[in-house]
Amino acid sequence: MLRNASQGVIRVSEKNPHYFEYKNKEVLLITSAEHYGAIISKKFDYVKYLDMLAEYDLNYTRIYPGAIVQPAKYWLTEDMMAPGEDAIVPWVRSDEPGNFLGGNKYDLSKWDAEYFARLRGSLTEADKRNIIVEICFFNCMQGQYWESSPLHRNNNIQGIGNCDRVGFQTLDDEDLVREQMKYIEKIIIETNDFDNIIYEFVDEPTTVQTPSRKAYLWIDKQIEKAIEVEEKLPKKHLLAQQLEIGVCFADDDRVPVIVTQYIQLSWRQLGGVTTLDNCYCYNRPIELNETVYVGSWITEKDDLFSISRLEAWEFMVGGGASFNQLNGYYQVSNPSGENAANRKILAGLKDLRTFLESFDFIKMTRDVETLRSVSIGASVNGMSENGRQYAYYIHHSFPTLDSKARYIPSHGVYKPEITLCLPEGEYTVMFIEPETLRVMQETAVISDGNDLTIKCPRYTLDIAIKIIAKGA
C-alpha cells in the first residue's frame, strides 16, 4: 500500500494519484527556484525571495539543508550554494581552524541552534505564502563539492568522512553513514510539525559513477531511517527520490513521489518527458525539479525565455505534477531576483498555471493517443478526460544530448494540420499562444468518432490546444 502523508500535510491526491493535494485542494506545484542555498547562505534574505515567488502565484521551492556546500564560483560568480565563510549548516563551528572554505572546522557532536532557527523561520514564511518546500538531504559530490562538505574529514574535528566522493554515496564508511543518518533524523525531528514540506533523499545519486547497487542500498537505508524517525512523530510526510538509470524507486510504496531532472535524457538522468513516457503507469506524482540553469548556463542571448517555456509547458501539459525552472538570478545581493528577464520567466510560469487551471485538471490523465499526428512533425504532449476536455502542447525544437540537456528552439513559420480522434459529439477547439495566452483561433467541430483533421493557425515555435465538449 502506498505510503501517503498525514491529513493536512501535502499529500498524494485521492482523486488522482498523479497530483498533489494540499489544504483539501488539488494543487499543481510550479516555480522558478533559487539554487538550493536559501538556508545555508546566512546573508540571503529568504523573505524577499519568497515574496517574489508569491507575487506570481508560484508555490514551490527546494533546499539543500547543509550536507553539501559548494566552492566559490563553481556555477556563478555569486552562487547560493557557495556562501564561503558565511555558510551556516546544522553543525556548530569549533575553535579549530582549517575548514576548506575558510573559517573553523565543524563539530559534528553539536547542533547549531541558530541554523535550525533559520530553517524553521524560512519554512514558516513559506507556509504563510502556501509555498511547498522540498528538503533534499544529499546531492552527488561533483568536482570539489566533497572537499567543501562539513562531512569531509578535513572539515570537521572528528575526522569523519575518510573516503572519496564516490564512497560518500555508499554504505562503505560506517562512521560517515552514522553521521549521515543522524543528520537526516535531526532535520526530520526539527521540521516534523510543518505541513508544507516533502523530503527528498538524493539528487543525482549515480552521476559521479557511484555503482548503482551501492547507491541504491545507501538510499534504501535513508528511507528506512526517515520512516523509523517519523513513526515516533505526530506527522508523516511524503518521501521522494530522483530516478536515475540504475537507481529506481518508482515502484516502491514507501516513496510515493518520482523525481526527475532535465527535460530529456541527460547523462544518467532519465529526464522529465522520458519519465512521463516510462513511469506514468506507476500512478504517482512525477516532478521535474531541475532544468537548464537560467542565468548560468543560459542567458538572454540564448533565447532563455523560449527554452524555459518549452520545458515547463511540455512537462506539465503532459501530466507532470510539479515543475521547477532552476534559476541563478536569485543571489545574496538580489534575493528577489529583481530584473526584467526574471520577471518575464515568472510571468510565463504564471500563465502556464492559468492555462492548466482553466481545466478541471484533477479529472485528466496523460493522453498520447487522441492527437494522432501533426502534418509537419513536432513534439506533442497532452492530457485529457476522455470525451470532455483535452489539453495539448505542440512545439518545434530538439534536445541537446549532453550533460546540460535543454531544447534548442527551432523558430520558423508553422501552419500544420492536426489529426484528432475524438468520441462522437460536439466540441470547441481553441488554439492558444503559450507566450501570451492569446486565443489565436476558435473552431466548433462535430466528431463522428473517426479521425478529424483541423488546420492550425500560423505560429512560430509552439502552440497550445484546448478542446472542450459541448455541455462539459
Which has more confidence, 237 or 141? 237
pLDDT confidence tier of residue 328, bands split at 50, 70 and 90: very high
* pLDDT of res. 218: 97
| Residue carrying C-alpha cell 522558478 | 32
CA-based end-to-end distance of the chain = 34
pLDDT band at 209; cut points 50, 70, 90? confident
What's the mean pLDDT in 13-38? 97
| pLDDT tens column, 42-97 | 999 999 999 999 999 999 999 999 999 999 888 888 999 999 889 999 999 999 99
| Residue range 336-380, pLDDT digits in tens | 999 999 999 999 999 999 999 999 999 999 999 999 999 998 999
Q: For residues 135 and 120, is the Cβ–Cβ distance under 8 A?
A: no
Look at residue 265 in the predicted model and tell me its pLDDT: 82
Question: For every residue of the chain, which 3-state class applies, written as one string?
Answer: CCCCCCCCCCEECCCCCCCEEECCEEECEEECCCCCCCCCECCCCHHHHHHHHHHCCCCEEEECCCCCCCCCCCCCCCCCCCCHHHECCCEEEEEEECCCCCCEEEEEEEECHHHHHHHHHHHHHHHHCCCEEEEEEEECCCCCHHHHCCCCCCCECCCCCCCCCCHHHCCCCHHHHHHHHHHHHHHHHHHCCCCCEEEEEEECCCCCCCCHHHHHHHHHHHHHHHHHHHHCCCCCCCEEEECECCECCCCCCCCCEEEECCCCCECCECCHHHHHHHHHHHCCCEEECCCCCECCCECHHHCHHHHHHHHHHHHHHCCCCEEECCECCCECCECCCCCHHHHHHHHHHHHHHHHHHCCCHHHCEECCCCEEEECCCCEEEEEEECCCEEEEEEECEEECCCCCCCEEECCCCECCEEEEECCCEEEEEEEEECCCCEEEEEEEEEECCCEEEEECCCECCEEEEEEEECCC
Rounded to an integer, the average pLDDT of 227-251 is 96
Q: pLDDT tens, 184-207? A: 999 999 999 999 999 999 999 988
Q: What pLDDT does residue 75 have?
A: 84
Full-model pTM: 0.97
- What value does the mean pLDDT take over residues 276-299? 94
User: At residue 144, does pLDDT exceed 90?
Assistant: no
Q: What is the pLDDT of residues 393-434, one digit of tens each?
A: 999 998 887 767 889 999 999 999 999 999 999 999 999 999
For the segment 300-318, the average pLDDT, to the nearest whole number, is 95
Domains and CATH numbers, the chain: 11-360 (3.20.20.80), 365-469 (2.60.40)
> For 97-106, 272-281, 381-390, 394-403, which range has the lowest pLDDT when averaged over its residues?
394-403
The confidence score (pLDDT) of residue 142 equals 84
Q: Which residue has the higher pLDDT, 233 or 405?
A: 233
- pLDDT of 99 strictly over 90: yes
Q: What is the pLDDT of residue 262?
A: 93
